[in-house]
Amino acid sequence: MRAVQYRRIGAAPEVVEVERPTPGPGQVLLEVTAAGICHSDDFVMGLPEEEYTYGLPLTLGHEGAGRVVELGPGAEGVEVGTNVIVYGPWGCGTCHQCAQGKENYCPRAAELGIAPPGLGAPGALAEYMVVDSPRHLVPIGDLDPVATVPLTDAGLTPYHAIKRSLPKLRAGSTAVVIGTGGLGHVAIQLLRALSPARVVALDVSEDKLDFATSVGAHDVVLSDEHAAENVRSLLGGRGAQLVLDFVGAQPTIDTAMAVADVESDVTIVGISSQPAAAQVGFFRQAYEASVSVPYWGSRGELIELVELAHRGVLDVHTETFSLAEAPTAYERLHAGTLTGRAVVVP
């Protein structure tokens, strides 16, 4: 079968021929119907050799959707032929975090050698993929796999980040979204669907800001050195109750901290290769502002998102590519010329 692999540090991903995998005990084989491309892949492929821990060659793709085609010995709870999406942050399944469905925070995954597909285990950018357990599959019924596959990360990560701050998003509150790409454009829609907050979106170009408006942002502000003062003047001098930073670089972290109101949440989702420091301490940040860095989301939250998708609440924008075109999709991601999520259809 064909797969898209990162094979050499610093090299572009390649489309290669590999053996079709067979599911081991308890595992499930999917025929991949769609696979999303995330900016984190770009981060991973930009790491120097001494910091790269994902193994080579690495079949990419941590957003996967597929049709169940074969069950390994003892695998139960899912039928051949079912359309599913894959919960990616695999954990041990039995510890206290995993018992709550928060496998993204499993403290045992690393010591047990468990890694997400596309970030250690073979990923979804292939004709077939193995999923380590039926509990990591969420049936999607008749939903379109292309529009639904981004929910596994571009949806799940902002959903988790927003849900934990919902008590702060009262009537009259503001949420700021910095970076309106794959994750950010879903975040805007989730904020609109789940809260009465005014949504202010920041990005670096007029066409990205137009896109943010088209998916529901009330106001848009160019993300430059004046962004914080422009956001504050828009808000009559006040700050935001939730700031979601989907870039995570020094300039956006500085903006995020500067627009945070008292008792707000500053949530840094973006992963930057440049080390960044939040200016914290008295006189440097709003009173009782909390800064956090969430990672992905829980199994239960992915099930909730699929419910939202069935209700037609989300309009995930995708640009589709064939497997052969996947390297081009990565180039476009790196150059910042994609709108919404790039999805590969094998």
Site residues, Zn ion (CB under 5 A)? 38, 40, 91-92, 95, 98, 106, 108, 153
C-alpha distances in Å from residue 179, one per residue of 58, 184, 255, 256: 28, 6, 12, 11
Of 230 and 330, which CB lies nearer to Zn ion in the complex structure? 330
- Rule CB under 6 A: is residue 204 a binding residue for ligand NAD? yes
Let me know: does 166 contact 41? Beta carbons within 8 Å.
Answer: no
* Residue 101 found at the interface with ligand NAD (CB under 6 A): no
Whichever of 29 and 266 has its CB closer to ligand NAD, that residue is 266
Near ligand NAD by CB under 6 A: residue from 33, 40, 59, 230: 40
Give me the least distance between CB of 111 and Zn ion, in Å please: 10
Q: Which is nearer to ligand NAD, 27 or 223 (CB)?
A: 223
Judged by beta carbon distances under 5 to 8 A according to partner kind, the member of ligand NAD, Zn ion, none in contact with residue 269 is ligand NAD
- Cα 120 off chain centre by: 17
Question: Pick from 248, 265, 266, 316: which binds ligand NAD (CB under 6 A)?
Answer: 248
Spatial distance between the Cα atoms of 199 and 203, rounded to a whole number of angstroms: 13
Q: Which lies closer to ligand NAD via its Cβ, residue 28 or residue 58?
A: 58
Please give the size of the binding site for ligand NAD, defined by CB under 6 A.
Answer: 32
Contact 133, 125 (CB under 8 A): no
195 binds ligand NAD (CB under 6 A): no
| Residue 312 burial (10 A CB sphere; 0-12, 13-18, 19+) | exposed
Q: What's 142's DSSP letter?
A: T
Q: Is the CB of 16 or the CB of 235 nearer to ligand NAD?
A: 235
Helix (H) or strand (E) holding 138: strand 137-139
Regarding 103 and contact with ligand NAD (CB under 6 A), the answer is no
The answer to the question of residue 47 lying near ligand NAD (CB under 6 A) is no
d(CA 173, CA 104): 29
Binding site partner of 246, from ligand NAD, Zn ion, none, Cβ cut-off 5-8 A by kind: ligand NAD
Alpha-carbon torsion (247, 251, 256, 257), positive or negative: positive
Closest-CA residue to 34 (of 119, 127, 115): 127
Binding site for ligand NAD (CB under 6 A): 38-40, 43, 153-154, 157, 178-184, 202-204, 208, 223, 246-248, 251-252, 269-271, 294-296, 333, 336
